[in-house]
Structure 1
Amino acid sequence: MEPGVPPPPPTPPSSPSAGATLFGKYQLGRLLGRGSFGKVFQALSLIDNSAVAVKIIDKAKTVDAAMEPRIVREIDAMRRLQNHPNILKIHEVMASKTKIYLVMELATGGELFSKISGRRRLKEGVARRYFQQLVSALNFCHQNGITHRDIKPQNLLLDEFGNLKVSDFGLSALPEQINNGLLHTACGTPAYTAPEVVRRRGYDGSKADAWSCGVILFVLLSGLLPFDDTNLVAMYKKIHRREYQFPDCISKPARYIIYQLLDPNPDTRMSIEKLMQNAWFKKSLRVQPQNSLFDSESLSHEKNCKPEMFSITNAFDIISLSSGLNLSGLFETTAFKKEKRFTTNLVSAEIVLEKVKEVGERLGFRTEKGKGWSIGLGKGKVVLIVNMVEIAPNLLLGEVKVVEGGIEFEELHWVNLKQGLEGVVVSWHKDSI
């Protein structure tokens, strides 16, 4: 090697196994399991010693005409949904000529399925807490135009604090897949799939997710499936006829929710939005688990979700060298924009945005209402987008995203904006960049 010429980057092993080092950045640990597209390992970041999960996809074995869209959807959906505490985060995408490496948040608590396997049921308060977190995550997905379409206990993971994490977006539907407001692909797991999905006549993905929530709540509270038959035809007949029985252990308020969600007619089925207004759903636990979603300070524990952890350079070019898989459009190739997050317990996102507008205009920003719960602010070269999402009853998460003029915003406007929002914000997240 000539003097002054840097050595080539480390090459990942052809068949990664425990103990192997990937790109000089991650050391693989034990095998956690096999996902939809490949093996999943626990790994250690050699940069900051944090624990992560690495999904390794062998392109030669799994990337074909059928699997490629699922891989693209999973990465794209997780990239779009980075900011919710109950959705598993993707930190980095790397690739060699033969493999794709997805570096994700490690959910050390395992699958929620393990807590209810063997017909075990959860206490109502615990089941409601998991259910609240699931519904909050799905509501966030729907607000961003994404439906999951494969909600089942095996795809619901738990972190070290016992908080739920929705995972496996391989069957999710992105906004651009919707045709005339409806989806047309039959997918999912039969026992958890809404009846209209099977009919292939077009369906509302958010209503299909709501059906799956009804099945999940039934399972959490009883340890049983509402519709369970080895003969799929017989099971679908039961679904259409609403033939199931409530065990005595399920309370009347919970039965009402389940009955409204397991409505075979999607037009009259309870929506996620209406569910979130239900009194039983909104009821908080008497004793909040430490560092749970409902402790506003716990939201600052999202230390591994910083978007700058994405490694984009050359990854998509390398991926596309074989099988034609091209992910280049999924991520911005320029630096990620800065953002600051906060929590508030005001009664509604509309009130928060109205106060943001009031403060912004007082500071000389022009304001413009965006889609959903969002508002734009502009002043000179600075452009901000403020988004709001309800992540739990009486708890809202806000995000101030700097679209343009980051340096000018930090030097001239950030302190004034922060002071102006003191009456709105409960706490700013220390990990926001």
Structure 2
Amino acid sequence: MDDAEVLKKRGYIMGINLGEGSYAKVKSAYSDRLKCNVAVKIIDKKKAPRDFLERFLPREIEMLARVKHHAIIKTYEIFETSDGKVFIVTELGVQGDLLEFIKRRGALPEDVARKMFRQLASAIKYCHELDIVHRDLKCENLLLDKEYNIKLTDFGFSRRLARDEDGRVILSKTFCGSAAYAAPEVLQGIPYQPKVYDIWSLGVVLFIMVCGSMPYDDSNIKKMLKLQKEHRVHFPRSKVLSVECKDLIYRMLQPDVTRRLCIDEVLMHVWMQDPKSVSDTTLSKPGESSHHQNQIKALYGKESGPEPSDNEQVIQEERHADLDKLSEQVQRTSL
């Protein structure tokens, strides 16, 4: 029985292809029961490597079944067929992922970035309080719903923290994720604190949000590591950022793991405090347009980003070139 028939029997009408790898693919589908479109990740266990089947897939399924947070993609159903295919049905990020959004629209204004980043940070706080670490935080794993709210996805490298008999966290030795978002201790092959690794990746994500480019060029890992270990963070001259925003990024991109912020410190940072912001713990009711959505539409419109002036054209071209390079980096730099 083909995938479309399997899904049809479960009440789904299969739609377009959203992505495909060597042993997994993601399809859109319409759910008769939910009356909405969903995403379906289909994993062919016959084609998947043993390490993935024995370690990472069971962890991903466990995490998806466990986590329930408004800024984490919702999992509706997980089932397996007799021919060895696993179907994971989740909420659909109808606005695509954050990287594609920034490539189309450019760097985000700080007030918009703050709202999105607060949503992401709240999701990581929720995970860390459950002793769950993501270990693959990157813009491609941050989907946007119809109102441009962040939805964290892809728990393929996530895991529960292991502790020794004294309750101390056992360091991780699995070097996973993408080099462009990886902390220096991970790139150096040093056993690491997984929660602290997540914070570094958050710093990279926030840099991309407000700058529209990567903080480091990973085409030369040795050079990148040198800059990271010297705690050098260069912000583009074309971007005017607040001191508070730069300070938060700088503190997350701290090479000394004993001084890097924890997630509570990230959330308490002065840049994250905005009394006028809409609470990230509430979602708009179906059919209602949130303040967040209206703000983004006002800035960018529905279909296209802001038209650059003649003076901004060169900056726009440089930024898009940086992000095109970023896409190439992400494709080649899985650890």
Question: Contact 2:37–2:92 at 8 Å: present in 1 too?
Answer: yes
Q: Unaligned 5+ residue runs, structure 2?
A: 287-335
Separation in 2, partners of 1:217, 1:53: 26
Compare the two structures and name the one with the higher strand fraction: 1
1:95-134 → structure 2 map (5 Å cutoff): 95-98=80-83, 99-117=85-103, 120-134=106-120
Of residues 53, 59, 63 in structure 1, which corresponds to 2:39? 53
Alignment match of 1:243 (pick from 212, 218, 232): 232
- Give the C-alpha shift of residue 131 in structure 1: 0.7
Is the contact made by 1:29 and 1:44 (CA closer than 8 Å) also made in structure 2?
yes
- Kindly state the Cα deviation for residue 122 of structure 1 after the two structures are TM-superposed: 0.8
Shift of 1:230: 1.1
Letter in 1 for 2:215: P
- Displacement after TM superposition at 1:244 (Å): 2.9
Q: Do 2:23 and 2:48's aligned partners in 1 also have CA atoms closer than 8 Å?
A: yes
Give the counterpart letter for 2:61 in structure 1. Answer: I
- The CA deviation at 1:47 is 2.7
Which residue does 1:86 correspond to in 2? 71
- Residue 278 (structure 1) aligned with residue 269 (structure 2): yes
Change over 3 Å in CA distance of 1:185–1:119 after alignment to 2: farther
Mapped partners of 2:129, 2:177: distance in 1: 21
Q: Counterparts of 1:227 and 1:203 in 2: how far apart (Å)?
A: 21
- Measured in 2, the distance between the counterparts of 1:213 and 1:200 equals 20
Q: 1:231 to 1:48 in 2, by over 3 A?
A: closer
Q: TM-score, normalised by structure 1?
A: 0.60
Sort the Cα spacing of 1:276 and 1:295 in 2 relative to 1 into closer, same or farther, 3 A: closer
**Do the aligned partners of residues 216 and 264 (structure 1) sit closer, same or farther apart at CA in structure 2, a change above 3 Å counting?**
same
Unaligned runs of 5+ in 1: 1-12, 302-433
Alignment of structure 1 residues 391-430 onto 2, 5 Å: none
Aligned match of 1:41: 27
Contact 2:70–2:281 (8 Å) recurs in 1: no
User: What do residues 1-27 of structure 1 show as CA deviations (whole Å, max 9, x unaligned)?
Assistant: xxxxxxxxxxxx23x25x874434212
CA distance in 2, matches of 1:197, 1:139: 21
- Percent identical among aligned pairs is 36
What secondary structure is seen at the aligned counterpart in 2 of 1:62?
coil
How many angstroms does 1:63 deviate by? 4.8
**For residues 148 and 78 of structure 1, what CA distance do their matches in structure 2 show?**
11
Alignment of 1:108-187 (within 5 A): 108-117=94-103, 120-176=106-162, 180-181=168-169, 182-187=171-176
Deviation at 1:72, TM superposition (A): 1.2
Q: TM-score, normalised by structure 2?
A: 0.77
Per-residue deviation, residues 191-215 of structure 1 (Å, max 9, x unmatched): 1111112333322111111111111
Classify 1:177/1:97 alpha carbon distance in 2 versus 1 (closer, same or farther; 3 Å).
farther
- Report SS of the residue matched to 1:275: helix
Per-residue CA deviations over 1:160-196 (Å, capped at 9, x if unaligned) read 1111000001011213488951222111111111111
Counterpart secondary structure, 2:41: strand
1:65 aligns with 2:48: no
Contact conserved, 1:20 with 1:28, CA < 8 A, in 2?
no
User: Corresponding residue for 1:191?
Assistant: 180
CA spacing shift, 1:295–1:64, aligned 2, 3 Å: closer
In 2: Cα distance, 1:35 partner to 1:267 partner: 37
User: Hey, what's the Cα distance between the residues in 1 that align with 2:105 and 2:184?
Assistant: 24
Q: Equivalent of 1:266, from 252, 257, 260? A: 257
Compared CA separation, residues 109 and 32, structure 1 to 2 (3 A): same
TM-aligned CA deviation for residue 267 of structure 1: 0.1
> How many residue pairs end up in the alignment?
280
Which residue identity is paired with 1:72?
P
CA apart distance, 1:271: 1.4
Q: Distance in 2 between matches of 1:138 and 1:279?
A: 18
8 Å CA contact 1:119–1:224 kept in 2: the answer is: no
Q: Is the 8 A contact 2:70 2:151 kept in 1?
A: yes
